Amino acid sequence: MKQQKLKRFFIIMISLIAISGCGKKDYQPVAVKEKTDKCEICHMAVKNNQFPVELILENGKSMVFDDIGCMYKWMKENKDKKISNSYVKDYYSKEWIDMEKATFVYDKAIKTPMAYNVISFSDKKAAQKFVSAHGGHLLSYEKLQQHSWERNEEMVKKMRKMKKMKMDGGKDKMQMEGSKRHQ
């Protein structure tokens, strides 16, 4: 009798341990470190603003992206990786939110770091208010999964041109200062 109770106790304990290890882990996002964090896809610096995205794999590895489109590109290239959690930043508060609970807005005119033109909101009303004021289309998490993740190439060209102008402007200024010293 004692052996049966003891046997039953061990079976229940082993079952509880096995069940507790099978659940989705509740990993939380970490703060963006602007000096060291680089996007897993484009290798650009990740700013601590409203655009970063964070994925946490089942093994606990955390990865950051500078644009939600980069994250989807990574997911497409790494279908074998198991994702535990994903987080986006609210466009207004810049606070991390569970990606599955967010509402998204897409519009070609929305400027994002890599020109995928999607922003996220923790509140559907805030997203609707943004659309009313600026245009765009609301996307739920489910609709976001079917979104065509194409970069806005026109915006990319403009961004490259602006970056080149900034870089050339700095060189011109340095050249002008250098030539003044030699006069």
Q: Residue 181 pLDDT > 60, yes or no?
A: no
43 within some domain: yes
pLDDT digits (tens, 9 = 90+) for 127-154: 999 999 999 999 999 999 999 999 999 9
Range in 7-16, 28-37, 85-94, 101-110 with the lowest mean pLDDT: 7-16
141 within some domain: yes
8 within some domain: no
Going by C-beta distance under 8 Å and a sequence separation of 6 or more, which residues neighbour residue 141?
A: 99, 100, 101, 102, 104
Predicted model pTM: 0.76
Percent of the chain with pLDDT over 70: 78
10 within some domain: no
Characterize the bridge pairing of strands 96-98 and 118-121: unpaired
6 within some domain: no
164 within some domain: yes
Task: State which residues form the domain around 126.
Answer: 26-176
133 within some domain: yes
pLDDT digits (tens, 9 = 90+) for 19-62: 444 445 678 898 999 999 999 999 999 999 999 999 999 999 99
Separation CA 38–CA 48 (nearest Å): 11
Q: Residue 6 pLDDT > 70, yes or no?
A: no
Instruction: Kindly state the tokens that stand for 101.
Output: 């609970």
Instruction: Please state the domain count of the chain.
Output: 1
65 within some domain: yes
